[in-house]
Amino acid sequence: MKTQAQKRVLSQKASMNLQCYLMISLQLIGFLVITVYPILWAARLAWFSYDGVASNTRFVGWDNFVKIFTQDTTYWKTWLTTLKFAVFKLPIELPLAMFLAVILNKKLKGRGFFRAMFYLPNVIAVAIIGLIFSSMFDYFGIINAWLVKLGIVNESVDWFANTGTAMFVLVAGAVWNTFGLNILYFISAMQNIPEEMYESARLDGASRTVTFFKITLPLMGPVLQTILLLSLVGTLHTNDYVLVMTNGAPRGETFTVMSYIVSKFVPGFADSTANIGYGCALSLVTTAIMASIAIFYNKFSAKLSDMY
């Protein structure tokens, strides 16, 4: 026999459960319908050949995956482009952001203003950034005009006709877009370092450079790893930025892997005859590789911090 009080506790618990589920009901439905179902759909279709017409659907077994790993060199080239993009962008952006963060962490007049202005490009849409940079780096654009005027180049450069120069514009725009965000991250990581550390270093006569490498960097350690991971993942996922800026020009050579998949398999960008089944297989493989890179990075950086 349950007592009256026990019953009340039970009904209270039931009512609590009900109220909680009621409040998150939209998101629960959303999770099932717009997240889980599409993933299962894509995971199933990866074993089919499917071009959007239901009657053309055909089970192909491992064929899609075999094709990805044995024949599809275009796809792997876009991975190479993605890595190139990261290798050019991160070593410019992160040291630059770190350098500026060190300056802005000092008690300078107007540092709030500079910090705010440096972050400003980050609030601008990638679509607009693509447009602005295409306009500035247009063959008849302002950059070419100034370069010729200053005598740096003899004749205008066709920036988007050449893989190297197109990549240069992509990296320039990307660095411009996100360096301010990294400055903010670095500054907030530096502000967690106690001021006394710097004072005692100064008393010991340590130079600025020594202080930076012996105190600032090591003490930022764990946060630094997070910032690096965020930048790396963000850069590898670069997608609509490339679509807007170069759309692969020249000849699809500046497509990063995500933008390549969109341009080949997603409605609004791709041909209507695209083999969606194959696109699903590519998406699965891409997601798996992205996840492994993140996991590998985490393991690797944990090992590194063990060593030092």
Any contact of residue 250 with another protein (CB under 8 A)?
no
Any contact of residue 54 with another protein (CB under 8 A)?
no
Q: Name the segment binding another protein (CB under 8 A); options: 60-68, 78-86, 140-148, 160-168.
A: 140-148
Which residues are within 8 A (CB) of 105 and not within 5 positions of it... i.e. 6 or more apart?
A: 187, 190, 191
Q: How many residues bind another protein (CB under 8 A)?
A: 94
Given a contact cutoff of 8 angstroms between Cβ atoms, the answer to whether 171 and 92 are in contact is yes
Given a contact cutoff of 8 angstroms between Cβ atoms, the answer to whether 166 and 159 are in contact is yes
Looking at the Cβ atoms of 170 and 276, the one nearer to another protein is 276
Provide the sign of the torsion angle of the four alpha carbons 241, 245, 247, 248, taken in this order.
Answer: negative
User: Distance between CA atoms of 142 and 293, rounded to whole angstroms?
Assistant: 39
Kindly state the smallest distance separating residue 261's Cβ from another protein, in Å: 6
166: exposed, middle or buried (Cβ count in 10 Å: 0-12, 13-18, 19+): buried
Helix (H, G, I), strand (E, B) or coil at 291: helix
Kindly state the smallest distance separating residue 150's Cβ from another protein, in Å: 10
Q: Could you tell me which of 294, 299, 304, 292 has the C-alpha nearest to residue 221?
A: 304
Residue length of the chain: 308
Q: What is the DSSP letter of 239?
A: -
Looking at the Cβ atoms of 83 and 223, the one nearer to another protein is 223
Residues 90-119 that bind another protein (CB under 8 A): 100, 103-104, 106, 108, 114-119
Q: Name the segment binding another protein (CB under 8 A); options: 37-45, 57-65, 87-95, 160-168.
A: 37-45
Kindly state the smallest distance separating residue 296's Cβ from another protein, in Å: 14
Residues 159-188 that bind another protein (CB under 8 A): 176, 180-181, 184-185, 188
User: Distance between CA atoms of 143 and 264, rounded to whole angstroms?
Assistant: 32
Residues 209-248 as x/- pattern, contact with another protein by CB under 8 A: --------------x--xx--x--------xx--xx--x-
Which of 9, 10, 24, 80 touches another protein (CB under 8 A)?
A: 24
Kindly state the smallest distance separating residue 174's Cβ from another protein, in Å: 13
